[in-house]
Amino acid sequence: MNLLKKKLIVKIAILTIFTLFFSGAYYMYMQKFQMYIRVTSYDVNSSEFPSKKVWFDASEWLKSSQYIKVHDAYLINKKFVPIENLNTLSITMTLQDEIDSSIKFSELNVLKDMEAIKFLQLMQNKMNYEYIYTKFDEESLKPVLDFFLIKFPYKEKKYELLVMRRKYGNEYVYDHFDSIYRENEWHKHNKDTLIYRDYLAGKIDSYKQ
């Protein structure tokens, strides 16, 4: 093998190594922008039944300083839209819906099947909330599903319920998730979940830094 061929082989080998290196680096770089949503799986034989992960590129949002990825399924929106008014039927009826089906706290049984207006009046100006995190809508793939803990009192005890806020037309609507907890119990059951309060406490290191 002459010298020219040897040099050519060396150049090709070096080029191949560099290509593989930068391809791997680019792949690793893009991986941090990958997030997933869960969609219904109709294949009963699938290991992902009854729901499966669908991965997508979320770099449009994650490259912005407004968002911090803290999990492959959700992020922190540092500029989330606050709940302007808790004293609305859309919120209190969401609480009622879970209270009516809950068997956890017998002391709340008296609130079951209460008229919506009466329950709203009972909770008037007594509730507060905490922003938790934001997820992506499965159709638009936009981070528009905001999760909050709605906290409410009854007879000197306080409770909380995780709810999801979404836009329906020009209005916000709420859906409840999980079950009712005593105040601060949700955090104890989800202590490994990074949320907005962790960001405020400086416990979240953004991958962008």
DSSP codes joined into one string, 18-30: HHHHHHHHHHHHH
Contact 129, 149 (CB under 8 A): yes
What pLDDT, in 10s, does the model give residues 22-35? Answer: 443 334 444 679 99
Q: Are residues 114 and 191 in the same domain?
A: yes
Cβ contacts of 107 within 8 Å, gap of 6 or more: 154, 155, 157
Provide the 3-class DSSP secondary structure of residue 2: coil
Please give the single-letter amino acid code of residue 21: F
Q: Are residues 166 and 114 in the same domain?
A: yes
Structural domain including 189 reads: 89-200
Share of the chain above pLDDT 70, in %: 83
Banded model confidence at residue 21, pLDDT cuts 50, 70, 90: very low
Length of the chain (residues): 209
Domain count, the chain: 2
Rounded distance between C-alpha atoms, residue 182 and residue 185, angstroms: 5
Contact 67, 33 (CB under 8 A): no
Rounded distance between C-alpha atoms, residue 76 and residue 205, angstroms: 12
Provide the 3-class DSSP secondary structure of residue 46: coil
Q: Are residues 50 and 123 in the same domain?
A: no
Q: Is residue 79 part of a domain?
A: no
Q: Is residue 73 part of a domain?
A: no
Q: Are residues 99 and 165 in the same domain?
A: yes
Q: Are residues 96 and 191 in the same domain?
A: yes
Q: Are residues 28 and 100 in the same domain?
A: no
Banded model confidence at residue 39, pLDDT cuts 50, 70, 90: confident
Q: The pTM is what?
A: 0.82
